[in-house]
Structure 1
Amino acid sequence: MRNRTVGINVRVTVTEKKKVTMLARKCGLSLSEYLRQRALGYEPGGHPPMEVFDVLDRLDEIAENCQPSAGTKITACADEIRDLLIGGNQDLGNQGQLTARP
């Protein structure tokens, strides 16, 4: 059941709407969700480009072909980078991309 039943209308210029829509898209959010998060004091984070994950996958492949001790270190580093990119903000709910503003 949907809890959001009240709307808020805001007038913006065409340029403002394009900019806000672009920012929402960068975060992987709908325009409504992006505006809701900003209005409630959160700063939605963007998703890293797919190339970042391609590099991390390549590091995993390299680690598999290394001597065990080196491979373990490479895997640990790749996992730490992955966590920093996508897992650092899990404490604010299931969005995973919310960061409270100071």
Structure 2
Amino acid sequence: MRNRTVGINIRVTVTEKKKVTMLARKCGLSLSEYLRQRALGYEPGGHPPMEVFDVLDKLDEIAEQCSVQTGAGINAQTDRMRDLLIGGN
């Protein structure tokens, strides 16, 4: 059952709404959830577009076709890029 029963209304400019909506979309959140998280002190992380991961997967495929040493280097770099994009260590 949903516990959120109280609304908070604020006025913003058209430009401000577009910007906040874009930021919410980048994080994969609804506008309400994005604003809720920001108001409560959370900083939601953004998600790169799926095309970024498609490119990384293609680089992995290329690495499999390379020599062992070259392929290992490519795989290490794509793993590093993937970790940077999704918040890994």
TM-score band w.r.t. shorter chain = 0.7 to 0.9
Contact 2:26 2:48 in 1 (8 A): no
AA aligned to 1:18 is K
CA distances 1:11-58 after superposition (whole Å, capped 9, x unpaired):
223332222112211221100111011112222232223332232112
- What residue number does 2:48 align with? 48
**Contiguous gaps of at least 5 residues in structure 1:** 90-102
| TM-score (structure 1 length as normaliser) | 0.70
What is the root-mean-square deviation of aligned Cα atoms in Å? 2.1
Q: Which has the higher contact order (CA 8 A, sep 6+)?
A: 1
- What residue number does 1:3 align with? 3
| TM-score (structure 2 length as normaliser) | 0.78
State the aligned residue count.
89
Separation in 1, partners of 2:62, 2:15: 46
Separation in 2, partners of 1:76, 1:86: 16
Asked whether 1:81 is paired with 2:81, we answer yes
Contact 2:64 2:71 in 1 (8 A): yes
**Identical columns (%):** 84
Separation in 1, partners of 2:32, 2:16: 14
Q: Give every structure 1 segment of 4 or more consecutive aligned residues whose post-TM-superposition deviation is greater than 6 Å.
A: none
Separation in 1, partners of 2:2, 2:80: 37
